[in-house]
């Protein structure tokens, strides 16, 4: 079936998508001298045209190869075709497979078998499958009433130029419900509450398949923390990004160690918008460092508040697309070691403890650290009796 699949993705949206992808790593966001203008002209001439989904995918692949930007051309056009597929009314597992196949084709890494599987998958799409989701069903939507990446400040259209010259897991490992999930409480991550799928370098894996792989990486990272491998690093946003990258960099290289670039929901929480995250995480790091002197001075109440702040504020910001719970667990282990405090078990041990923990996180979302302070007191008390 033919549609204007790429119609909402104007060239300013493409430019802004590349900027957002470059931002977390500090990569240069500028046009190339030979590829930018031909790609812009091609895109503007075709993106509103009705075409098959295969043709839309091929256009994204061709624009990737033209290399309009200095960095992340593949990631940019892969993000576009994946958002097209996110907007389809497909079951989650089927959509995940289709996104993965389309992403590999645009990136130029698809095998012949993947090409065939993609062709077969889109041929099997029914008109109902290919109908767009409503806005509420698609947290990654760029077009329409909520321009998550496309909008410029004040609602103005983003400039058509770059400027310049040229340029589910066990509760022990996951803290809240997955990004993009329905707004329901409690914010639980147990496998019986949600079945989710993640696109990885090993293929599309369910959380139950992914959990042991992540656990191995978390364990190795925690061992590195206890070896004092990161002692020369400042406690802050850069270290957080490294921890996240070490946890999932070989599994999800497209977004490992990078601030998320899409809006998400986490149970009843709506975390900050993507464009706010770099500033919020920098402020988080500065606030944490300001609290450090008092915590290191053996003031137990201030130490407990520092730990509650570090855990609660991080999870309220929800800076990464996924695996925030695992990342904050390792980050807290680093803080505990530097403060010469015992390691504690962060996992709620039963249903009552779990309910109290989620309530404490919701209080932290309101900048009320006291419920988490109480939980930290309990954690230390239990550690002394073990």
Specify the CATH number for the domain of residue 358: 1.10.3290.10
Return the percent helix, strand and coil in the chain, to nearest 5.
55, 5, 40
82's CB contacts (< 8 A; 6+ apart) are 99, 102, 103
- Residue 172 is predicted with a pLDDT of 35
Q: Tell me the average pLDDT across 174-182.
A: 41
Strand 197-200 versus strand 203-206 pairing type:
antiparallel
Angle in degrees, CA 354, 260, 34, rounded to 5: 170
Report the alpha-carbon distance of residue 358 to residue 364 in Å, rounded: 10
| Domain end among 78, 112, 146 | 146
Q: Give the range of the structural domain holding residue 209, as residue numbers without chain letter.
A: 197-385
pLDDT band at 24 (very low <50, low <70, confident <90, very high): confident
Q: Locate 215 and state its tokens.
A: 């656990």
What pLDDT, on the 0 to 100 scale, is given for residue 122? 87
Residue 244 has pLDDT above 70, yes or no: yes
Residues 25 and 92 in one domain: yes
Same domain, 105 and 208: no
Mean residue pLDDT across the chain: 81
The verdict on 210 and 121 lying in the same domain is no
One domain for residues 116 and 208: no
Cis bond before residue 136 (omega within 30° of 0)? no
- 139 and 206 share a domain? no
Q: Under a CB-based contact definition with an 8 Å cutoff, are residues 200 and 251 in contact?
A: yes
Q: What is the DSSP letter of 342?
A: -
- The answer to whether residue 148 scores a pLDDT higher than 50 is no
Predicted confidence (pLDDT) per residue in 185-195, tens digit: 345 443 333 45
Q: Is the per-residue pLDDT at 167 higher than 70?
A: no
One domain, residues 127 and 234: no
The answer to whether the beta carbons of residues 296 and 339 sit under 8 Å apart is: yes
Q: Residue 236 belongs to what H/E stretch? A: none
Q: Which of 169, 226, 161, 233 is nearest to 196 (CA)?
A: 169
Domain count along the chain: 2
Find the mean pLDDT for residues 265-272.
Answer: 86
Q: In angstroms, what is the C-alpha Rg of the chain?
A: 22
Name the DSSP letter for residue 100. Answer: H
Q: Are residues 267 and 381 in the same domain?
A: yes
Tell me: do 131 and 224 sit in the same domain.
Answer: no
Please tell me the distance from the alpha carbon of residue 5 to that of residue 8, in angstroms, as a whole number. 8
Contacts of 382 (CB under 8 A, 6+ apart): 344, 345
Top mean-pLDDT range of 23-32, 122-131, 336-345, 370-379:
370-379
| Residue found under tokens 């990885």 | 200
Q: Any idea of the CA torsion for 181, 198, 81, 21, to the nearest 10 degrees? A: 90
Does residue 310 share a domain with residue 219? yes
């Amino acid at each position: 079936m033919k549609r204007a699949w790429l119609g909402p993705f104007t060239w300013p949206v493409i430019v802004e998508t590349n900027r957002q992808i470059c931002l977390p790593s500090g990569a240069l966001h500028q046009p190339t001298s030979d590829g930018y203008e031909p790609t812009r002209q091609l895109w503007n001439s075709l993106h509103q045209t009705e075409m098959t989904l295969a043709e839309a995918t091929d256009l994204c692949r061709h624009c990737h190869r033209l290399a309009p930007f200095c960095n992340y051309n593949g990631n940019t056009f892969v993000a576009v075709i994946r958002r097209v597929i996110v907007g389809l009314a497909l079951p989650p597992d089927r959509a995940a497979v289709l996104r993965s196949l389309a992403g590999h084709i645009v990136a130029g890494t698809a095998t012949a078998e993947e090409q065939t599987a993609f062709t077969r998958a889109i041929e099997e799409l029914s008109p109902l499958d290919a109908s767009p989701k409503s806005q509420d069903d698609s947290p990654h939507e760029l077009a329409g009433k909520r321009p998550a990446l496309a909008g410029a400040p004040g609602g103005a259209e983003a400039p058509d130029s770059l400027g310049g010259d040229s340029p589910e897991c066990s509760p022990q490992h996951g803290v809240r419900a997955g990004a993009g999930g329905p707004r329901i409480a409690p914010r639980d991550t147990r496998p019986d509450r949600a079945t989710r799928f993640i696109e990885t370098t090993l293929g599309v894996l369910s959380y139950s398949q992914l959990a042991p792989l992540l656990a191995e990486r978390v364990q190795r990272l925690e061992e590195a923390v206890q070896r004092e491998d990161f002692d020369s690093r400042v406690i802050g946003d850069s270290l957080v990004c490294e921890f996240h990258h070490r946890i999932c960099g070989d599994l999800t290289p497209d977004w490992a160690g990078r601030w998320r670039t899409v809006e998400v929901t986490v149970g009843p929480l709506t975390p900050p918008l993507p464009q706010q995250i770099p500033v919020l995480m920098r402020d988080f790091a500065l606030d944490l460092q300001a609290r450090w002197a008092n915590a290191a001075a053996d003031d137990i109440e201030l130490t407990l508040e520092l730990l509650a702040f570090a855990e609660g504020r991080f999870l309220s910001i929800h800076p990464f697309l996924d695996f925030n719970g695992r990342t904050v667990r390792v980050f807290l282990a680093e803080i505990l070691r530097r403060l010469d405090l015992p390691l504690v078990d962060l996992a709620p041990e039963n249903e009552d403890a779990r309910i109290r923990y989620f309530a404490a996180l919701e209080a932290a979302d309101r900048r009320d650290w006291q419920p988490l302070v109480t939980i930290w007191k309990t954690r230390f008390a239990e550690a002394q009796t073990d």
